[in-house]
Amino acid sequence: MICVASLTILGCKKPYNPPIIANPPSYLVVEGSIVAGADSTIFKLSRTVSLANHITANPVTHATLNVESNENITYPLTEVRAGYYAAPGLNLDNTKKYRLRIKTPDNQVYISDFTSVSITPPIDSISHTVLNKGVQINVNTHDPQNKTHYYRWDYQETWQFHSEYPSGVMSDGVKIVYRPADQQIYYCFAGDVSSTILLGSSAKLSQDVIYQSPIAFIEPTSEKIEVRYSILLRQYALTSEAFTFWTNLKKNTEQLGSIFDAQPSQINGNIHNVNNPDDIIVGYIGASTVQKKRIFIDNAEVPPTWRPVYPPSCTVDSFFYSQKLTNFDQVTSELVPLGASYIPLSPFGTPVVEGYTGAYRPCVDCTLRGVVQPPSFW
């Protein structure tokens, strides 16, 4: 009877979604910082979405953004793509204070607190260590004046990779021809940007030194290290208030999920809605100079046993002009049509070509996930 009663009780449970979860408010999110030097100032505007929503990107478009000084000098930003606003190097006076002003299409006005320009010390070095489980990338920096103490980093990474199989021939839509050099699809370049919040602090140390702070990790099965890899690291000096904001944001977005993690906390930024003081805006606007450094890592620096993981469907098949059992023309049917699922690799048969080897397009065409043209710094 006890077991039956327990099953009955469990069977009567119903999910409950509080209104705040079912219909959460949509908060403005402001990402970016004011760059005082020659680098571009870029801000991203978006609004939060419900976890149940299948839409993850919710950019705020057609807004008006300006950087303002405490001496009423205005620096406009231009929307360069949906939700992204930029201005070329502002070369600001580091002795002045600055803030960001935002006007959204619904005539809401947001301003950040005035902030001084933080002077960022140079990056001393970017190191990489080859471990059994991958490549660990770290940063080293210090401030000889012992003034910075709080740091944030982000990065852009670029890598050269190749498809699993090279193709020496191609279809011109009518027949199979040899592939010219300007149509090669074996080597490509791809890139990404940092997706986690990277912070460092020397506030509890006697000297303002950051040593071997982790930045990125490359798995041994990643195609990032298949040929050559590069990372461009950017370093920003933070105020203690900005560091507190970024630390709380990191805890709330990256370090939740187990009973041992920190509890969610209120994230207090420095951006305010002029028309509604109770409005919650996610973001913290700082102003600083930026220091950058780039390194390259070649495939020769990692163990030769490391290999990228390709799709499990990558196999080489044979396609005949006249299939032996049915006389079916597999080449004309499967390889010649432009945009076909299979790409020819090389001919076989002598003295007359009997057909071509071929493979599934994603296993041959690197341009499906990259570009052939190398970046200018490569």
Peptide bond preceding 351 in cis form (omega within 30 of 0)? yes
The answer to whether residue 193 sits within a structural domain is no
The answer to whether residue 346 sits within a structural domain is no
Indicate the range of 32-36, 126-130, 306-310, 327-331 predicted with least confidence. Answer: 306-310
* Torsion 341-344-345-350 (CA) sign: positive
Q: What per-residue confidence (pLDDT) applies to 1?
A: 47
Summarised one tens digit per residue, pLDDT across range 233-286 is: 999 999 999 999 999 999 988 865 554 455 555 677 999 999 999 999 999 999
Q: Report which of 160, 149, 161, 297 is spatially closest to residue 217, judged by C-alpha positions.
A: 297
User: Considering its fold, how many domains does the chain have in total?
Assistant: 1
How many angstroms separate the Cα of 76 from the Cα of each of 86, 95, 280, 363, 365? 9, 20, 24, 46, 42
How many angstroms separate the Cα of 178 from the Cα of each of 161, 291, 354? 23, 47, 16
In whole angstroms, what is the distance from residue 30 CA to residue 75 CA?
A: 17
- CB-CB contact of 58 with 48 (8 Å): yes
- CB-CB contact of 235 with 294 (8 Å): no
pLDDT band with cut points at 50, 70 and 90 for residue 24: low
Domain holding 30, by residue range, is 17-112+240-285
Q: What per-residue confidence (pLDDT) applies to 25?
A: 76
Q: What per-residue confidence (pLDDT) applies to 11?
A: 53
Mean pLDDT of the region 358-372: 96
The answer to whether residue 301 sits within a structural domain is no
pTM here is 0.86
Token pair belonging to 287 = 């102003």
- Residue 80 clears pLDDT 60, i.e. is over it: yes
- CB-CB contact of 246 with 201 (8 Å): no
Q: Report which of 104, 71, 77 is spatially closest to residue 273, judged by C-alpha positions.
A: 104
The answer to whether residue 228 sits within a structural domain is no
The answer to whether residue 65 sits within a structural domain is yes
The answer to whether residue 2 sits within a structural domain is no
The answer to whether residue 361 sits within a structural domain is no
Q: Which CATH number fits the domain that encloses residue 261?
A: 2.60.40
The answer to whether residue 23 sits within a structural domain is yes
